[in-house]
Amino acid sequence: MADTLTFCLLIPTLNEIDGMRVVMPQVDRSLFKEIIVVDGGSTDGTVQYCHENNLTIVQQPNKGVPDAEEYGVLNSTADVIITFTPDGNSLSELLPSLCRLFHEGYDMIIVSRYLATAKSDDDDVITALGNRIFTMAVNILFGGKLTDSLVGFRGYTRNAVKQMRLVSMGNEFCLREKFYLMNSWELGSSIRASRLNLKVHEIPGDEPARIGGVRKMSILRNGLGSVAQIVYDYLFFRHSRL
């Protein structure tokens, strides 16, 4: 792959000022053509912090992390998009190696919390068990070889995003597809990268505990949504390419 790849760091936010103050000064901005913060309506000073620190910030039109990710990609022109949480869960020191690995031709790279000696300090028993169950389902049903199907810290090439149909593309994108992706880009990309036999790589990365703020995930809602995503892809797309 060409040495001229450009990178976008995509950061969804909703009241993450405590994490932003700690995490963002640790990010090497020289790695990225763009750093795009997509905000979901913060009222705690997150937006002001971005303005004060010359971070590009856009307001997402709808609610939820998947909408923020889609809107961020549509506002980016980079070759590779890396999704990064500013709450302390994503380790900024892994960004240089993550960018470097994309020059080896990978379509998607996942920072796995369960590979080798990596661990999560933000997991509880239920979320850890759910991740392992859903990852096992992805591997069995769609031919994946993953250890972490739900982590948000990962990167995609622009072409892979298009192949996996993670963003709206005019008439190619139907309403039920939009509903399907409202739950989780992470699980959706894990499923579709496996189904499409894209070149996927995992690297180990710890997930530290969140810094301030409030966890946005609902275990019940996201769990049921994940089941729906797996069933949807298995029934509608198992025997066809996207």
> What is the per-residue pLDDT across 151-167, written as a single tens digit (0 to 9) for each?
999 999 999 999 988 87
In a domain, 1, yes or no: no
DSSP reduced 3-state for 118: coil
Q: Where are the beta strands (DSSP E) in 46-184?
A: 56-59, 80-83, 108-112, 154-157
Specify the pLDDT at position 159: 94
The rounded mean pLDDT for the chain is: 90
Considering its fold, how many domains does the chain have in total?
Answer: 1
In a domain, 2, yes or no: no
What kind and span of H or E run contains 8?
strand 7-13
Return d(Cα 142, Cα 196) in angstroms, integer: 9
Chain Cα centroid distance, residue 133: 19
Residue 155 vs residues 28, 72, 136, 140: alpha-carbon distances, Å: 16, 13, 21, 23
Residue pointed to by tokens 């199907």 = 149
Q: Is residue 11 part of a domain?
A: yes
> Is 154 a member of any domain?
yes
Q: Identify the pLDDT of residue 50.
A: 98
Alpha-carbon span 186 to 153, nearest angstrom:
9
CA distance 119 to 223: 21
65-111 tens-digit pLDDT: 988 999 999 999 999 999 999 999 999 999 999 999 999 999 999 99
* Cα–Cα dist 144/132, whole Å: 13
- Provide the residue type at 162 as one letter: K
CATH number of 172's domain = 3.90.550.10
- Residue 62 confidence (pLDDT): 86
Enclosing domain of residue 180: 7-237
On whether residue 172 sits in a domain, the answer given is yes
Domain-embedded: residue 175: yes
pLDDT (mean) for 33-49: 97
Q: Please indicate, yes or no, if residue 54 is contained in any of the structural domains.
A: yes
Q: Which DSSP helix (H) or strand (E) runs through 34? A: strand 34-39
Q: Give a yes or no: residue 203 inside a domain.
A: yes
Token duo for residue 70: 């889609």
Give CA–CA dist 20/30, Å, rounded. Answer: 18
Cα–Cα separations (whole angstroms), residue 178 to 114, 172, 185: 29, 11, 11
pTM of the model: 0.91
